[in-house]
Amino acid sequence: MTDRPRRRSVLSIVLGAAVLAVGVGGLWYWNRPPQGIEVPQSACWSAFTQEDLTALTDNGYKTIASEDKPVGDADYLSAPSCVVVERKLDDTSDRGHRLASIRVFWQDEAFHQAKTKAEAGGWESIRPAPLDVGPDVQGWLFHEGTVQLMLRCDLPTDKDRDLVSPYREITITGDRAASGTPVTKVHQIRIDAALRTAKELVRAQGCTNKPQLAERPPAAPF
């Protein structure tokens, strides 16, 4: 007779623990961070593909791109630029980590010569790796991951201004990328995006000198 109350007590404890476990598990499920990735089909004048953005974005995050003007805009006083940021899926603020940014600057002959000399000299350990992006384009991959291209673009109109700053400097960088994406892959994405940007710039700005660019981007050296 004394076993029954004891059995009831044990059964009550077991059932209570099970209910508590289910409650805690359900609470964790409903409060867990959103899962998955949200990325646009492309970003920054189609310089970044959906595959690129997916590789750069962490699970539970979304990417948002902001373009301030078309890359074909020939106004040298305001450089075309684009920024891609990463935010949590449930974040409705305007904050975020910068995954990538692209800026296009107008440069003159003096800058071009100084840039060429500077990147070819200095200590080998910090010297940027040259990128073969075409016979009429200079390219560099810096050790912190910045990619730069420089090419000449003569415009069909407004020759006085064009002669002052005939070069275009394309710079791509970023603060971070998905934790699971290798650094070499991140660098390759930026190199690919830089070449796409250069091709779109040549097409949209109508460079009369028709600079020759590589058909395919070179492999990231590191």
DSSP 8-state assignment for residue 145: S
Asked if residue 87 is part of any domain, the answer here is yes
Residues 181 and 136 in one domain: yes
Residues 64 and 124 in one domain: yes
Asked if residue 60 is part of any domain, the answer here is yes
Residue 179's pLDDT is 84
> Tell me: the pLDDT tens digits for 71-93?
888 776 678 999 999 999 998 87
Residues 97 and 65 in one domain: yes
Residue 122's pLDDT is 72
Q: What share of the chain is helix, strand, coil (3-state, %, to 5)?
A: 35, 25, 40
Residues 128 and 143 in one domain: yes
Residues 125 and 182 in one domain: yes
Note the pTM of the prediction, 2 decimals: 0.82
Residue 25's pLDDT is 47
Residues 128 and 27 in one domain: no
Residue 87's pLDDT is 93
Asked if residue 212 is part of any domain, the answer here is no
Q: Cα–Cα distance between 155 and 57 in angstroms, integer? A: 37
> Tell me: the pLDDT tens digits for 179-206?
889 999 999 999 999 999 999 999 999 9
Q: Residue-wise over 100-130: b if at least 16 C-beta within 10 A, else e?
A: bbbbbbbbeeeebeebeeebeeeeeeeebee
Residues 24 and 132 in one domain: no
Asked if residue 180 is part of any domain, the answer here is yes
Q: Which residue has the tokens 């002052």?
A: 164
Residue 33's pLDDT is 57
| DSSP per residue, 103-142 | EEEEE-HHHHHHHHHHHHSS-TTTSPEE----TTEEEEE-
pLDDT less than 70: residues of the chain: 1-34, 76-77, 158-163
Residue 2's pLDDT is 53
Residue 76's pLDDT is 62
Residues 20 and 72 in one domain: no
- Range(s) of the domain holding residue 89: 37-205
Residue 40's pLDDT is 95
Residues 47 and 145 in one domain: yes
Residues 27 and 43 in one domain: no
The number of distinct structural domains making up the chain is: 2
Asked if residue 216 is part of any domain, the answer here is no
Residues 118 and 147 in one domain: yes
Residues 19 and 63 in one domain: no
Asked if residue 221 is part of any domain, the answer here is no
Taking the mean position of all CA atoms in its chain, how far away is CA 133? Answer: 19
Dmax of the chain from CA atoms? Answer: 107
Q: Cα–Cα distance between 53 and 55 in angstroms, integer? A: 5
Residue 21's pLDDT is 47
